[in-house]
Structure 1
Amino acid sequence: MVRNSCSGNEHEVIAGIGLVNLLWHDLTKVESIPINYRIYDKDSDGKIKNTHFSEMLTLAKKRGIMPEAVVMDAWYSSLDNLKSIRSHGWIWVNTLRKNRIVNHNKQLNKLDISEEGTSIHLRGYGWVTVFKFTAKNGRIDYIVTNKENPTRQYLKSIMDARWSVEVYHREVKQNCGIERCQARTSRAQRNHIFLAISAWFEQHKRRISEKITLYQQNWDVIKSAITEQIRVLLAYPN
């Protein structure tokens, strides 16, 4: 299960277990919940990450999921994935790499892109619309969608919602210990990942019902343990 993968947090290639997550984000309530996940273990099932991605979307379609848009990063921007989303009748919004070939053998970053978006021909797919977003640090993102007549504000709202994936990843790591399993067997690791995600759901339910953050929930447990330890030490000083 353990293999070398690119880490967005470490900004380098590290050894770890690859997890492909699918989240549902509610734009009105501004909250997200995981609806599926897959463990990337090509040695056991022969599936690459793009295969897991496509299969999870197909299952979501069968379960009646109707998203406003499917959002993913550039890693999942293969033609097969984009066509798969289109086949479900869904809109997709995606970041494309600057050297992606469009408009009959031209690189994306060589095009003049208007503020209102520019229609381009994505080789092997068809016509899409691209917007150019420049961050304060100078980073440039090329955001592309198959939605007809999209606005810049629409794409920005969708891309802002994508950040919820990173929030979920941070919470399940810091609060639920998904990376802290000391077991060595594949089955034990898989069980640990499932239980960590289940723990996140339990904490998320408390966050909604009691208006208490996941971090506060964990701190309350720690405070209770410290209080109990001090009580014992005072009762039995020797």
Structure 2
Amino acid sequence: MTKPDIFDLYTDYLITSFSYTTATGLSELVDGAVNHDQITRFLSQQDFTSKELWKVIKRTAREIEADDGVLIFDDTIQAKPHSKENELICWHFDHTVNRSVKGINLLNCLYYANETSLPVAFELVKKPIRFCDVKTQREKRMSEVTKNEQLRGMLKVCCQNQLKWRYALADSWFSSADNMKYIHQTLQKYFIFALKSNRLVALTSEDKAKGRFTRIDSIEWPEGPVQGWVKGLTFPVLFHRQIFTNKDGSTGTLYLISNELSATKTTLETIYQKRWKVEVFHKSIKSNTGMAKSPAKTVRTQSNHIFMSLYATARLEGLSMKQGLNKFAMKTRLYTKALQQAFKELKALRVSTA
């Protein structure tokens, strides 16, 4: 079989699998048409990066892109507590559980347009630098670049690829002044980011000039967005406080910032709500295409498996759109078909041994 055959075959294997994905398992699935060594060589022969991802999803991206498309940035951590530690599988701080977790940290750039989500760039957070923590006297790892630097790199690549988009969306972990400057001044695009409640802002040019900044959660809020300045930026921005109700009946507060000064309350809330698409995508890549369900041993094969999982999730998205089902319903449909076939096989075995 040629390389493209294995590429598509491995992708289909991830979409249809419901457990761990192995080279042996794939070989057995196709009755040895591709052997274990061929699959292993496929995963280890080169590094599959964002550049390769764009090559395989470019055509689909061109079909769905729109001028009002959004780029959504977020990272996700997949725990791998029992795997051998290396520069990819190591300790990362997970803000969802407020502690460090041993596993894989994936930074994703998801493009959303015309009701379709598509991964257009990604970075795996690797920590090749080892050092001794002075306070704890324990060895730790660190990256050569920050996640915010990786985010700006992905933004640059999306522009080089001439992808149409209007807004960049991200939560408060990526609302650094450098990111906002880069989008506003260098790319001349719009952003809508969340802000932490302790972010320092000024609502008048006089307060800004005199350095009188106050926490965003302590200002008096009008009904709609308010214009002002955030500490660290020279250009004016728009602030908005959104009060929402949780499923348990409790209320929460979300602070938003944008450089689109003419944006309304409805615009900010509606556009930023699209950021949830990346959360759904991350759930899908973990549940539907086996992001962490591979026994790969080396950094390259582990990274390439994640790349294939990303691409498989994109293909599953396209398939589910054509069938009018969401990704999880599509996966359930495949699972039901597999169970039905297994049930038929069991009945045949009983008849043959009767």
> What TM-score comes out, normalization by structure 1 length?
0.90
Corresponding residue for residue 37 of structure 1: 122
Contact 2:108 2:123 in 1 (8 A): yes
1:48 aligns with 2:135: no
Question: What is the rounded CA distance, in whole Å, between the counterparts of 1:15 and 1:4 in structure 2?
Answer: 4
- One-letter amino acid matched to 1:73: D
Question: What is the rounded CA distance, in whole Å, between the counterparts of 2:339 and 2:181 in structure 1?
Answer: 51
1:78 aligns with 2:194: no
> How far 1:198 moved relative to its partner?
2.1
> What TM-score comes out, normalization by structure 2 length?
0.62
Question: What is the rounded CA distance, in whole Å, between the counterparts of 1:63 and 1:224 in structure 2?
Answer: 44
> How far 1:10 moved relative to its partner?
4.6
* Larger Rg computed on CA atoms: 2
Corresponding residue for residue 308 of structure 2: 195
SS at 1:42's partner residue? coil
Corresponding residue for residue 133 of structure 1: 242
Q: CA, structure 1 residues 113+198, in 2 after alignment: closer, same or farther (shift >3 Å)?
A: same
Corresponding residue for residue 219 of structure 1: 335
SS at 1:89's partner residue? coil
Question: What is the rounded CA distance, in whole Å, between the counterparts of 1:43 and 1:34 in structure 2?
Answer: 25
> How far 1:220 moved relative to its partner?
3.9
Contact 2:242 2:253 in 1 (8 A): yes
Contact 1:175 1:214 in 2 (8 A): no
Q: How does 1:1-238 map to 2 (within 5 A)?
A: 1-7=88-94, 10=97, 12-26=99-113, 29-43=114-128, 46-86=144-184, 87-103=186-202, 104-125=212-233, 126-136=235-245, 137-212=250-325, 213-237=329-353
- One-letter amino acid matched to 1:116: G
Report 1 or 2 for greater relative contact order, CA contacts < 8 Å, sequence distance ≥ 6: 2
Q: CA, structure 1 residues 64+208, in 2 after alignment: closer, same or farther (shift >3 Å)?
A: same
Alpha-carbon deviations, 1:90-136, whole Å to 9, x = none? 10000011111112331111111212111121122131111111121
Aligned length: 236
**Percent identical residues:** 22
Contact 1:119 1:129 in 2 (8 A): yes
Contact 2:242 2:269 in 1 (8 A): no
> How far 1:59 moved relative to its partner?
0.5
**Unaligned ranges ≥5, structure 1:** none
Corresponding residue for residue 26 of structure 2: none
Contact 1:204 1:214 in 2 (8 A): no
> How far 1:171 moved relative to its partner?
0.9
SS at 1:34's partner residue? strand
Cα RMSD, aligned residues only: 2.0
Question: What is the rounded CA distance, in whole Å, between the counterparts of 2:232 and 2:98 in structure 1?
Answer: 31
